[in-house]
Amino acid sequence: MGKIGPHHRDINGESSTGGIRGPFEIRDVKGNEVPTYPVLWAHDAKREQVMCFDGDSEGLPLKGATIEEQESIDKKIANIWATASNCHCNLDFRFNSQSTAMQFTPRRTIGGRAWRAIQASSDQEEKALVVWANTSLGLLLRWWHSNKQQSGRGNLSKSTLQTLPVLNVTALSPAQLSCAVKMFDSMCLRELLPIHEIDKDAVRRELDQRFANEVLGFPECVSAPGGPLELLRMKLAQEPSIRGNK
């Protein structure tokens, strides 16, 4: 359904012999800078309360010591940039402080250490995937599929991300896809609470209700007060591996 971006060491790491494995140096983006190679590298829980935000870093191309090394770097840069996407998955999800399982960058952006790029066939499908991933149903699957060895946190490796169960957005009808895109556009900058507070989150409740009714066509009783989705949010909020020490 989509292509998963590279491991972060292929972006800025060294080889086992100390050579160049990743073709970039990563540095923070400051002020009104416009990076040539934007990167979503690290976590900032406050800005991640919404589903749409820019990359926090940029990749500065390394300089080769020889013509041959420079050619190798240039080829790696082209390969990495080809993986840039608008959709990114939260690999190191702190359920008790973070709000979003996937996010959308306005510009195509390279995935980094904390967020891995996922390329779908179109930005419309990527928006639909981001919306789905942040509903309670999407979060349930993300939590279930995660490595939960650390309390309050769920990690994904590249291999487990490849097998993460998600809504098949390629199977949505044009009308369903259009509805999901409109939903993303209208809700992407509204703040969501951390997952351990999902039962108190009015925005998440609206997201659940709209996606279930308008995109999936579920009966209204599924998302109504006291219905199955409300019960799911209540159970997730009390799950010890989500709450951690909160």
Give the residue extent of every domain in the chain: 3-241
- Calculate the CA dihedral of residues 236, 241, 242, 245 and round it to 10 degrees: 130
Q: What is the 3-class SS of 18-85, one letter each residue?
A: CCECCCEEEEECCCCCCCCCEEECCCCCCHHHCCECCCCEEEEECCCCCHHHHHHHHHHHHHHHCCCE
Q: Give pLDDT tens digits along the chain (246 positions).
A: 789 999 999 999 887 777 888 999 999 998 888 999 999 999 998 999 999 999 999 999 999 999 999 999 999 999 999 999 999 999 999 999 999 999 999 999 999 999 999 999 999 999 999 999 999 999 999 999 999 988 899 999 888 999 999 999 999 999 999 999 999 999 999 999 999 999 999 999 999 999 999 999 999 999 999 999 999 999 999 999 999 987
**Predicted model pTM:** 0.93
* CB-CB neighbours of 77 under 10 Å: 18
Using CA atoms, how far residue 147 sits from 25, 232, 245, in Å, is: 29, 20, 18
